Structure formats: C-alpha cells, structure tokens
Amino acid sequence: MVNVNTGGQAINAAVSQINFDNQKLDIVSVGYSQSIFNLWTDEPSYSNAAGTVRFSGGLPSPGFTGVSGAIVRMTFRSKAAGQAAIAFTSGSVLANDGKGTNILDNLKGAFFTIIAAVESAKPPAAPSPTPSALQAAGQPVSIPIITDWPKELEEGSALTVKGLGYPNGKLLIFVQKGSEDPVITLQKPFLPGFTACGPKMCPTKA
C-alpha cells in the first residue's frame, strides 16, 4: 500500500514512480478504489517487464489532511527466493495552497526477504498385511489366482504355473488327469511365477 502523511497540511495531488525487483516479484494487481484521490491524470499502472509502477492523481479542494492517506494498493507475487526491494524513484506531493507547492519530505520504500517453500515430507505408505498376519487377526486370506500354465508337458519336465497372490510364499497345486485347469488344494503364502512341482508330484499322464 502506498500511503501519504501530509504532516498536518492539506494536499490535493501526488505523482510518483516506483521500481521493484522483477527477478523476484511480479505484480498481480494495482487497486485504487479506496484511494483518497478521485481524479487521475495518469491512472495507476504497472509493467512487470520493466519492474515499474506509476501514478498521478489528486482531489478537489479542500484536499486531504491526515497521517495515513491510502493512494494505491499493490499486490505482489513472489517468483524466486531472495531479497527484493521496492523503492520510489521519483515523486512529489502538492499542497492545497493554490500554488502547487511540493511539500514532499521523504520517500520510504520497502525491503522483503522471500523464503522458498519447504515441501512437507510424505508419510510412509502402510505395509500390506501378510497372510500370516491376516490369519492371526482372524481375517480371511484371498485365494491366489492362476493366470498361466502349460497346456502340454513333456515327460521329465518341470511344471511351471504363474499367478497372482501374496508375495514371498509357496502354494501346493494338484494337477488331475482330465481336468483342464490346475486345482489349488492347499493354500499357503503365494509367490507369483513359481515352479509348483515336478512331474512326479503333479503327473500329467495316467
């Protein structure tokens, strides 16, 4: 916010240009709907490319007298961490004395320190329950799903069955003559892509 302290004297106009660090800041908006001025020879405007704000305005007699008269509100957005200055490069405040006397005493800018945002750490994902933990808690254990197996098997070859289920475990599978699909007869923790049994344990011929 750009404010003016008239020092006890009535004023009726002010002109100024403000520079800001456009490597660290961007202006989002400049507002003057609540300004003490209602007449503008140069309405408040800004350039993020140049890093400037300028205005020239006033009000009719008897003018304004006060310690904190709002002229322009500027809203900034930070672009990068670091220190950013906002400074007046020129300005004048004219008295309501019929002569336009410049009674400006000093111009005070602002200095900001912008700190980079720190991302909050994500909580660790909860581990999936193991079959033994589910059984201990009295919860049912899902039956593994067989997804692939050989339709034909040569004598002496190992039978490999693939499926989906709990990791790091074993499963006992029984293959019966005349049955198209392997049959799960006893469930234990299941390991996807395992060798279920050899030809002597799971015969494929009579």
Q: pLDDT tens digits for 79-108?
A: 999 999 999 999 999 999 999 999 999 999
Mean pLDDT computed over 168-192:
55
Q: What is the pLDDT of residue 159?
A: 73
Which pLDDT tens digit goes with each residue over 151-178?
Answer: 777 777 777 777 776 666 666 666 666 6
Q: Is residue 123 part of a domain?
A: no
Q: Is residue 30 part of a domain?
A: yes
Same domain, 13 and 92: yes
Q: What is the pLDDT of residue 157?
A: 74
Tell me how many degrees the CA angle 38-53-29 measures, rounded to the nearest 5. Answer: 75
Q: Helix, strand or coil for residue 38? A: coil
Same domain, 85 and 171: no
* Res 190 pLDDT > 90: no
Same domain, 66 and 149: no
Phi, psi of 136 (to 5 degrees): -65, -30
Q: What is the pLDDT of residue 181?
A: 60
Q: What is the pLDDT of residue 189?
A: 44
Q: What is the pLDDT of residue 130?
A: 61
Same domain, 54 and 82: yes
Domain count, the chain: 2
Closest CA to 190 of 174, 169, 172: 169
Q: What is the pLDDT of residue 196?
A: 43
Q: What range defines the domain where residue 187 resides? A: 131-197
Q: Is residue 203 part of a domain?
A: no
Cα distances (Å, whole numbers) of residue 132 to 139, 173, 184, 188, 192: 10, 19, 18, 9, 17
pTM for the predicted model, two decimal places: 0.57
Q: What is the pLDDT of residue 116?
A: 87
Burial class (CB in 10 A: 0-12, 13-18, 19+), 129: middle
Q: What is the pLDDT of residue 194?
A: 40
Which pLDDT tens digit goes with each residue over 13-43?
Answer: 999 999 999 999 999 999 999 999 999 999 9
* Res 111 pLDDT > 70: yes
* Res 9 pLDDT > 50: yes
Q: Which residue has the higher pLDDT, 126 or 103?
A: 103
* Res 149 pLDDT > 80: no
Same domain, 42 and 100: yes
Out of 67, 83, 114, a domain closes at 114
Mean pLDDT computed over 178-183:
58
CA distance 196 to 184: 11
Q: What is the pLDDT of residue 140?
A: 56
**CATH number for the domain including 98?**
2.60.40.680
Same domain, 103 and 140: no
